[in-house]
Amino acid sequence: MASGAVPPAPSFVAVARMALRWLVVASSLCALGIAQAATYAYRNQAFSYDTPSASAATVTWHTSGAAPACTNYPDGDDDWADVSFPASFQFTFGGTAYAGVRIYSNGILAFGNDVSGFHRDYTPQALPITSPGPTGPTGCPNAVPVNLMLPYWIDIVAGTANNTTGASVRYELLGTAPNRRFVISWVNVKLYNRTARYNFQVVLYESAAGVNGNFEYRYTSGSSNGANATVGVQLSTTDYTQYSYNQQFIDTVNGTSILWYPANQLVTKDAEYRFDESFWSGVAGEVKDTSGNSQHGQRVGNAANIANGKLCRGGSFTNNTSNATIDAVATPLVPGRSGSVSFWYRSNNNWNTADTMLFDATAVANRPFFLMKRSNGALRFAVADSAGTVVTAETGNQSFAANTWQHIGVTWNVRPGTNLTLLQIFINGNLVTYARGTTNGALPALATLYIGDNRTSGVTPSNGTPNGANGAIDEFYVYPIDVSGPQFQADMALTRPVCTALDHFRIIHNGTASCGPAQVTIEAHDVNHALFSLAGTTMTISTSTGHGSWSAVSTINPVNNIAPGTATYTFANESRIVLALADPYAETLNIDINSGGITEHTGAASTCTAADYTYGSVCDANLTFAPCVSSFECLESGLAYQNLTASPTARNPLYTKLAGVAFSFDVVAVDANGNRVTSYAADADKTVTVELIDGAAGGACVSRPPLSPPVTSPLTFTRASQPTEQGRKSVSFTVNPAYRAVRCRVTDASQTPAVVGCSSDAFAIRPPSFAVSSSNANADASGASATATPTVKAGGSFSLTATATPGYDGTPQIDVTKLAAHAGAVATGGLAGNFPAATAVSGSATGTAFAYGEVGYFRFDPGGVFDTGFTAVDQPNDCTNDFSNTLVSGKYGCKIGNTAASDFFGRFIPDHFDTVVANACGGFTYSGQPFPLTVTAKNTGGGTTQNYAGSFARTVTLADANGAAGTLNPASLAAADFTAGVASKTAPPSVRFTFGSKQTAPATLKVRASDGEASSATGSEGTTPLRSGRLVLSNAHGSELLALTMPIQTQYWTGSAWATNTLDSCTDASAALVFVKTPVTLPSPTGGAISGGTGQLTFAAPNQKGSVEVCANIGADGDNPMTGCRNGTSLPWLQGSWDADGNYNDNPAARATFGIFQGRAPVIYRRERY
């Protein structure tokens, strides 16, 4: 946590942490960079600072160390916080575009999924970091970190920990796209257990897609100087670049800025001496500078051009030992306050043989500026300021063998301030030593730079040598800034398969640019028109009109616009680059290139040959910018485009589409007057983004919301197809969700500003169909089973779900004319209920209060569930008035419906039964007497369910709901008894109820019907009063001379005795009477009908004596003495127990007597008086 001296009485934790930190520092103070693959390089640049504004956000540190914080010291000590970039800001680091960054309080940024827990490590060390940091609380990760920016790794408190106030880390987005910067600032922070405060920041520059972004470390003036801290970048243990470790590099007076950039973006050179000339004769300008800056040199003395250089040819330098003899290459360069030199050196002797001067710009001995190899093999680099203070960097002894090529690089940066002047020496890409010193920041009056010997005749620089280089030097590069190791490594990696020189440039383009930037390819050629690789060479490219701006299309380095129409570019080991020229003017121009006098016309290009054609068979052809597209329109393929500016009432229609089905329409490039731009893509391929947006939203086209999830497609108008495309091309989509109203939006982002156009017409994307289902009326999809479950009461509530596709939010309707009942059904029931509006997320609507009035099943025929309003935006012209999912003249139907018959829904059962009973005998029914019964299956509304028949009817059990003792016969109705929902037992009546005992008091029968699923208990139940009855015949006698009447009577059991059944006026026993006459000539009686419970039989006067045995054969009476009265069936419920055996199975009988039997005279006392 802390750095510097520890205050009095520090805590034990502080002492332990400080001891650990200094142990690591002590063991690593001399650690230097070694060559490795490095994605990033750096350079110092002019200081600037973005002081956080009032709107800058402040990070929130953790208040607890436990997971997920996973820190031993929260509250901004060894802490971290995640910060998201604004949605439109793009920053690519190490080849990956990130949406945010993790900020360590200890001066580090971590990108990506950080599981290292390295925020806990407060002890800086030299890069690379190869070990995990300290362990954290239980369950917290611990790993070697990756993807780190280390602007100032040291033990920092940036919150409230360690009794700190006023410290924070703040962040904000500044600037204007596409040149914005995301600035993260450590504000008023301190080191652990220290009081001094300081500020620094990291600036992340907005990057183009797929290109690693630049970033900058900035350090303000103040108490911080860089001591003890680590500064650099580490993507992995093998991909890192260290700027400093435990070095005082910060200018505490003026501030310091370090720019980091992709290492493949090679630095622009001040001069590049390839030494590939075939001969040096001492003529001015003969040693060519191929950087494009025309800093040509010449041979001095006996320096010679040789064939066996490191790359092609090289320079050979003598071993003269006199400072008065100079064998060198003289350059016109005078070193500035900062710079670098990079070259190959091959010593004629072992390195540890003798002193040799490698380059020198010293004018006065005590104001040296030179690089030499010492006799012990060490390299010494000395630079003096104008006051004579000399800073010297010297490597350890080197033991390279004679005649071996070694790469040497040196950098210098002379700045005022304590230890701010820095010299570095690199050998074979490795930083082997550096030296810091305190200078006044000004160089003395130096001479021009000489290569291979001392500069000034008679002057040996202080601590230098008069000896020549005694060896070969090749590829001598001079940079205007102090470069970093990756640049030297890139210099080492350069190859030159063909030993030629830059001769001319070739310009390639299409001759026209119809809209937006024109693509321009630049090739570097040698004299044979072969591609020629340039590294660090700068060219200037300009337009003849002075109009336009240049940008990179396929380059490594950025393009620098320095004036309208003019830019510079530094090649980075490239022979071909592709640029874009944007010109706001409709004009014809010519492009010019110059790099140190090399142009598109120099050398072999002075004569136009096929190898240098711009396009067609023209060299250095003009480029014409045609009128530019200002908008786009979308319309159905095959329809003629209508200029709506000229004809506002015309239409460019887009028809209804089907969700989940591929569709296409045409995109048309349009100019400001509404005209179709037929020349679009005539100069180069044009890729636009076509997206579908909310067609109902208002506002500007560019701000209308896109569909969610987004639906986009790139569409490329190709130059090759431009003659046939003519600014119009088809794009295809498949959109799975449904939408009521959609428009297309087309964006050409290659133009500045981007060109955006929306379709004038909106269109619907409708579901192809509805699928109808039920969660509780789904017993049998085939509608056949009469037993399947679940069941629903006819007329009772059940649910139906109409499912379309996600996005559908309409309200399905029902066409009741398209209902179909199950096979064999008598009737199709009525369907009541409605669907609510569908839920867009699922595209389904569920109604829970549907009711179907019949028994069995029903289904929807095609179109039974429908929606006619979802496609309202397209009606009536852009869809057909039907359900068609087949294109007819390019149009689908406007309506949505179930396209096939749905499954059957059911099984529906009766809600209840109604029973209707009629009295069999006037106002009552005798026990055992058949009575009329009707059982009807009903729905909840009381309507007859006519489909309760056949297999959908069931056996219906009959019972007395009042519980009288007795039996119903039959006890049930068969399913076959039901026709159209009704079972009728009335013609003739065939249901009877018989008391268990003949002597049962009158009761009321209530007939209940139940089939196990429905019951009359919830319906209407018929009743009839029941009486247990018998028929009584009484004996009669009389004169044979007179007519005789025999009384008959129906009786019922009152509960205690038999009594005349005065309610009976329906019984007629006349047809059941049988007779035995003695003699047989006696007359038969007439009568037998009962009225009010009584009746009579009448005999005519027989005029003879005798008797007639009368029996009512009303039931089965097998032991009746009268054989003719044993098998009656007409009134068995009126039999009695006439043989006193207790069984009421005897037919009644009586005797009529004529003239034989005379009863006692009705005289009590008679007296005669004489």
Domain boundaries, the chain: 12-262, 271-493, 504-625, 631-766, 771-907, 910-1025, 1029-1154
Model pLDDT, residue 253: 83
CB-side exposure of 47: number of CA atoms within 13 Å?
15
Cβ pair 964, 1026 in contact under 8 A: yes
At 989-1028, the pLDDT tens digits run: 999 999 999 999 999 999 999 999 999 999 999 999 999 9
Edge-to-edge strand list for the sheet holding 504-508: 504-508, 518-525, 576-582, 549-554
Query: Average pLDDT, stretch 763-788?
Result: 97
At 557-582, the pLDDT tens digits run: 999 999 999 999 999 999 999 999 98
The residue type found at 922 is G
Q: Following CA atoms 547, 553, 559, 563 in sequence, which dihedral angle do they give, to the nearest 10 degrees?
A: 0
Model pLDDT, residue 762: 96
Distance of CA 487 to the CA centre of its chain: 42
The residue type found at 319 is N
Q: Which segment of 27-36, 493-502, 575-584 scores lowest on mean pLDDT? A: 27-36
pLDDT band at 1156 (very low <50, low <70, confident <90, very high): confident
What number does CATH give the domain 910-1025? 2.60.40
At 512-551, the pLDDT tens digits run: 886 568 999 999 999 999 999 999 999 999 999 999 999 9
Cβ pair 225, 420 in contact under 8 A: no
At 344-391, the pLDDT tens digits run: 999 999 999 999 999 999 999 999 999 999 999 999 999 999 999 999
Model pLDDT, residue 587: 84
Task: Find, among 872, 941, 948, the residue nearest to 909 by Cα.
Answer: 948
Euclidean distance between CA atoms 1133 and 763, whole angstroms = 83
At 408-444, the pLDDT tens digits run: 999 999 999 888 999 999 999 999 999 999 999 999 9
Which 3 state secondary structure label does DSSP give 38?
coil
Model pLDDT, residue 812: 98
887 phi and psi, to 5 degrees?
Answer: -65, 130
At 895-946, the pLDDT tens digits run: 999 999 999 999 999 999 999 999 999 999 999 999 999 999 999 999 999 9
Model pLDDT, residue 1168: 59
At 846-902, the pLDDT tens digits run: 999 999 999 999 999 999 999 999 999 999 999 999 999 999 999 999 999 999 999
Q: CATH: 3.50.30.50, 1.10.1740.10, 2.60.40.1930, 3.65.10.10. Which one for 631-766?
A: 2.60.40.1930
Euclidean distance between CA atoms 683 and 516, whole angstroms = 10
pLDDT band at 626 (very low <50, low <70, confident <90, very high): confident
Q: Pick the more confident residue, 896 or 753.
A: 896
At 1092-1131, the pLDDT tens digits run: 999 999 999 999 999 999 999 999 998 899 999 999 999 9
Query: Average pLDDT, stretch 765-780?
Result: 97
Model pLDDT, residue 4: 32
Task: Find, among 773, 44, 722, the residue nearest to 338 by Cα.
Answer: 44
pLDDT band at 625 (very low <50, low <70, confident <90, very high): confident
Which 3 state secondary structure label does DSSP give 676?
strand
Distance of CA 1154 to the CA centre of its chain: 115
Query: Average pLDDT, stretch 327-332?
Result: 98
Euclidean distance between CA atoms 1031 and 507, whole angstroms = 133
CATH 3.30.750.24 for domain 504-625: no
Model pLDDT, residue 722: 86
Model pLDDT, residue 37: 65
List Cα–Cα distances, 876 to 59, 469, 655, 898, 905, in angstroms.
57, 92, 11, 21, 34
Model pLDDT, residue 39: 92
Model pLDDT, residue 853: 97
List Cα–Cα distances, 1072 to 654, 922, 1093, 1100, in angstroms.
92, 21, 17, 20
At 800-818, the pLDDT tens digits run: 999 999 999 999 999 999 9
The residue type found at 1155 is G
Topology annotation, domain 1029-1154: Immunoglobulin-like (2.60.40)
910 upstream amide cis, omega within 30 of 0 = no
Model pLDDT, residue 21: 38
488 phi and psi, to 5 degrees?
Answer: -65, -40
Model pLDDT, residue 12: 26
pLDDT band at 30 (very low <50, low <70, confident <90, very high): very low
Give the position of tokens 């509304």.
Answer: 941
Indicate if the pLDDT at residue 971 is higher than 70.
yes
Indicate if the pLDDT at residue 24 is higher than 90.
no
Domains 504-625 and 1029-1154 are alike in CATH topology: yes
Query: Average pLDDT, stretch 438-460?
Result: 96
322 phi and psi, to 5 degrees?
Answer: -105, 135
Task: Find, among 523, 488, 491, 487, the residue nearest to 504 by Cα.
Answer: 523
Task: Find, among 375, 318, 315, 374, the residue nearest to 345 by Cα.
Answer: 315
Euclidean distance between CA atoms 1122 and 1111, whole angstroms = 8
Model pLDDT, residue 381: 98
Euclidean distance between CA atoms 826 and 856, whole angstroms = 10
Euclidean distance between CA atoms 94 and 96, whole angstroms = 6
764 phi and psi, to 5 degrees?
Answer: -95, 145
CA angle 492, 496, 500 (to 5 degrees): 140
Q: Which two tokens stand for residue 498?
A: 């063909």
Burial 192-209 (b: 16+ CB within 10 A, else e): bbbeebbbbbbbbbbbee
Averaged pLDDT of the chain: 92
DSSP per-residue string spanning 230-255: EEEEEEETTEEEEEEES-----TTT-
List Cα–Cα distances, 699 to 703, 757, 765, in angstroms.
7, 13, 22
pLDDT band at 1166 (very low <50, low <70, confident <90, very high): low
Euclidean distance between CA atoms 1002 and 705, whole angstroms = 84
Q: Which two tokens stand for residue 1021?
A: 């139940």
At 210-228, the pLDDT tens digits run: 889 999 999 997 667 888 8
Topology annotation, domain 271-493: Jelly Rolls (2.60.120)
